[in-house]
Structures are given as structure tokens and as C-alpha cells.
Structure 1
């Protein structure tokens, strides 16, 4: 198993929204330890959302986008009697959040040619509206788990 770290207790909320969720997302967004740049990209993305959709609160769009992308069930490989089965299993809360972050950041990093804050704003709005690359990834994961329901009895 993985090491237990003190990162959860050491994580400080971000300065603007006083949210640990934002702080965690920015830490995942950060590249090469450039936290200030990551914070600026995130805040600029929220400003872009505010500019495009004046009636929506940008922070709520962010929270709802993360909530919409979180998977509730996933398939895990399990070896039984020499064969590997894709067994559907429940996903715990911290892994749901980690997968949602990973899928959103993967979606924006795959798109080329535009500033990161624009791509991030696009992905947040798409996930908020239950569409886009990250949401599609979640739906595919759920669909795969549903297709492999027959092997659920191996989840022990």
C-alpha cells in the first residue's frame, strides 16, 4: 500500500475562496512547483467563466463540474484461477476526487493551441453541463462497469 503522508492535514485553503478543494486542484494543476502560475491559471479560468456566463457563479460551476465528473463505480482487474476479470467496484471519496481532477486535467492537456485558462474554463463549463471529454470518460467508466456486472461476485 501507499505511504501515509501528512499532506491532508498540511493543505491550506486557497486565499480567494478559502477552499481546500481549490487548493488541492491547483496542486494537481501545478507543473514544476510553479504554484503562483497554477493559481493564476485557475483564477483566470474562473474569470473567463464569469465573462461567458454572467448568470452563473464561477466557484459553483467549478464545484458542480468536479461533482459531475466524479465516478461512483469503476472496473478493477482481479485475477481468479489464472484468468483476469474486470470487476466493477465502488470508488471511495478521495479516489473519486483524484480521478475527477486527473480526467479534467488530462482533457485540457490533450487540447493544443489555446491558453490553459481558456481550455480549463471550457472543460469546467462542459462538465457543468454534463458534456465534454472528462464527463465522457466518466460515462465510459460507468458503462464498462455496467457491462461487467456479471463479474461483480468476484469483488471480495
Structure 2
């Protein structure tokens, strides 16, 4: 649901006028004015039944439940911990490409043995992906350049 979104001011003004004109023709302008709705609440939706029918429940929308997946375990002291979100939105925004480039980078730097690479699935920051966490520091809209800069800032490569 929801209202359509338009960047054109004329379209917004036209929709507003059409909704107003339509509302003027209606017998009731709000649910409180409608005697049928009032009767329904008074007779059928008293107390607990109304509560059951009218309250929304929320659920976790993760498609993959459970623990993160270790992509590369490393063998040394694991000085570098990389966690990349592979949720749908981050994946579509380039997480797989970022992962491949970061793997190449840690190999080139000779720190693969000290690197643990983990895939997580949805950190609830979908619009800010791809999301990468480096030793606890989260980088939204992460690029290879941002990741390498943070790795270097932490003196890890």
C-alpha cells in the first residue's frame, strides 16, 4: 500500500485535488461518522475480539535465519575480522563484488591467514548497502576503497 510517489509537483497537486473532490461526494468523511462502523464496534468488536482483529503483529523479515556463515576462517591470530552482509538488498548493491575484491586484496597483502571473513544475512540497514564490518566498525555504502582505507587505518595490511 501507501500513496504513489511522484517527483512532479503538478501530479501531486492533481492527486490532492482529485482526492478532495472525491471526498466531497462521500456521505461520510471519517470512520467515526459512519453509523454502520459504530454499530459494528458496539455489537461485534467489543473488548478482546477487537484487540485481536485490529492489532498488527510484526515479524522478522530475514529470509535466512540462524548464524552467520564463515567464508574464510584464516589460521593465524585473526587480526582482521570482516563481516559482509549478503542480504538481498546488499547483494544487489554489490556485496558479492566487494567480497571478491576484498579477498583479492587480503591475498595480495599477504594477510589471508590473519583474516576471518564472515557472511551475515541482513543487518536491517538495507538502504545503506553494501554493509561491511571491519573489526567491529561498520561501514555503510562500502566500497573497496573505503574498506582498504579502514584496514590501513587499523594498521592491518
TM-score by length of structure 2 reads 0.31
From the two aligned structures, give the one with the greater helix fraction. 1
- Whose RCO is larger (CA < 8 A, sep 6+)? 1
